[in-house]
Chains A and B, each alone.
Chain A
Amino acid sequence: MAAPPSAYKDRHFLAVIGDEDSVTGLLLAGIGHVTPPPDAQKNFLVVDAKTENSTIEQAFDNFTQKRKDIAIVLINQHIAEKIRGRVDTYTEAFPAVLEIPSKDHPYDPEKDSVLKRVRRLFGE
């Protein structure tokens, strides 16, 4: 029943998909990581008004499915809204997807995919 150790053994990093301020702050905390060249992959994505949804989706899929070294994916709630379908259908335990508030968008517990499941559980 429990996930085998191989599923999470090598997961050390956090990944961020967020607006510039959130990403900057989190990078200041020291979560930023770039894999060694030649395939330098960043574990963060800055999203602004011009970023395409497909880019966000691609980054989300990359962090959740392809990369095996990420333990937690942080995503700004207003960005999660843009790819809501993806986020809601994602139910794996590893990596954990966490919706975080951003400076301009206060946190709304109604939209959180996990809290939605919690509420559905209690039949509300």
Chain B
Amino acid sequence: MSGAGDREAVFPTRQSLGAMKNKLKGAETGHSLLKRKSEALTKYRAEITRRIDEAKRKMGRVMQIAAFSLAEVTYAVGGDIGYQIQESAKQARFRVRTKQENVSGVFLPQFESYTTEGNNDFGLTGLGKGGQQVQRCRETYTRAVETLVELASLQTAFVTLDEVIKVVNRRVNAIEHVIIPRTENTIKYINSELDELDREEFYRLKKVKSNKQRDNNAAEQEEKASKRRGSDKENADDPGATDILGEQEDQDVIF
């Protein structure tokens, strides 16, 4: 086993080496894309944060004005109108509609306020006196609520964006610190394993060659030796050559 650290469970073949190299390339492309996305979103979030801050301040001012105009109403009507208003609220005139805005592939919700015409729950409020103030107060509060809706959509966008940025950053980090090193490890492992195989193969070839040579040499030697021995034998036991010196018994000569 070579290559410290974890790697993917693959067989060290040239094919999987190619696949791993492709994977590494893909991971690097993805990493740079996600990184850019994360940067764009972070920039946008900073922008939203600034706008939230502004809107919160504006809301403080607007709500103050609205509260003041309500106080005017209370004074003009000469009594508390809260109960009457709470009882007569039936159908919302002021409503919101949600749509989505696409920021670098992230859908951010946005609220859009609209008023439905035709129903007016508070037609009789301030009929006796203070009708004008009531009318003005309604207008002021409508503007205040519009500010609130704007703020709410910024805030929702911020929450959503925050979530998305977290996810994207997590992915960027995962690719950078897990997937790329692991793929590199795997490539290293495959390479070393292939080298090992190459060396083995080379050694085997060498061994085969040397064996062959040795065998050849041996065979040559053998041949030479047998040749030499053959000539000796020729000298040694030629059946035609008789002993002249007469080791054999002479045949008796009979006269």
Chain A residues in contact with chain B, CB under 8 A? 1-3, 8-9, 11-14, 20-34, 42-44, 46, 71-72, 74, 91-94, 96, 98, 100-103, 106-107, 109, 112, 114-115, 117-118, 121
Q: How far is the CA of A115 from the CA of B148 in the complex (A)?
A: 15
Closest-by-CB residue of B relative to A2 is B107
Q: Once the chains bind, are A25 and B89 in contact (CB under 8 Å)?
A: no
Q: Once the chains bind, are B107 and A30 in contact (CB under 8 Å)?
A: no
| Chain B residues with CB below 8 A from A33, complex form | 89-92
Closest-by-CB residue of B relative to A103 is B67
Given contacts A28-B138, A42-B89, A93-B109, contact A72 B148 (CB under 8 A): yes
Chain B residues in contact with chain A, CB under 8 A? 49, 52-53, 56, 59-60, 63-64, 66-67, 70-71, 80-82, 85-86, 89-98, 100, 105-109, 111, 115, 121-122, 125, 134, 137-138, 141-142, 144-145, 148-149, 151-153, 155-156, 158-160, 162-164, 167
Closest-by-CB residue of B relative to A13 is B92
Q: Once the chains bind, are A24 and B85 in contact (CB under 8 Å)?
A: yes
Q: Once the chains bind, are A27 and B89 in contact (CB under 8 Å)?
A: yes
| Chain B residues with CB below 8 A from A94, complex form | 109, 156
Q: Once the chains bind, are B85 and A28 in contact (CB under 8 Å)?
A: yes
Given contacts A30-B121, A30-B138, A98-B152, contact A107 B56 (CB under 8 A): yes
A sample of 20 inter-chain contacts (CB < 8 A) reads A1-B167, A2-B106, A11-B98, A14-B148, A20-B80, A28-B125, A28-B141, A29-B138, A29-B144, A29-B145, A30-B93, A32-B89, A44-B89, A72-B152, A93-B109, A93-B159, A96-B152, A96-B159, A107-B59, A121-B162
| Chain A residues with CB below 8 A from B90, complex form | 32-34
| Chain A residues with CB below 8 A from B70, complex form | 21, 24-25, 28, 103
Q: How far is the CA of A11 from the CA of B109 in the complex (A)?
A: 12
Q: Once the chains bind, are B158 and A118 in contact (CB under 8 Å)?
A: yes
Q: How far, in Å, is B144 (CB) from chain A's closest CB?
A: 7
| Chain A residues with CB below 8 A from B108, complex form | 2
| Chain B residues with CB below 8 A from A114, complex form | 52, 155, 158-159
Given contacts A28-B137, A98-B151, A114-B155, contact A71 B111 (CB under 8 A): yes
Q: Once the chains bind, are A118 and B52 in contact (CB under 8 Å)?
A: yes
| Chain B residues with CB below 8 A from A9, complex form | 98
Name B148's contact: one of A74, A102, A107 (CB within 8 Å).
A74
Closest-by-CB residue of A relative to B50 is A118
Q: Once the chains bind, are B141 and A26 in contact (CB under 8 Å)?
A: yes
| Chain A residues with CB below 8 A from B115, complex form | 30
Given contacts A9-B98, A12-B92, A25-B144, contact A72 B111 (CB under 8 A): yes
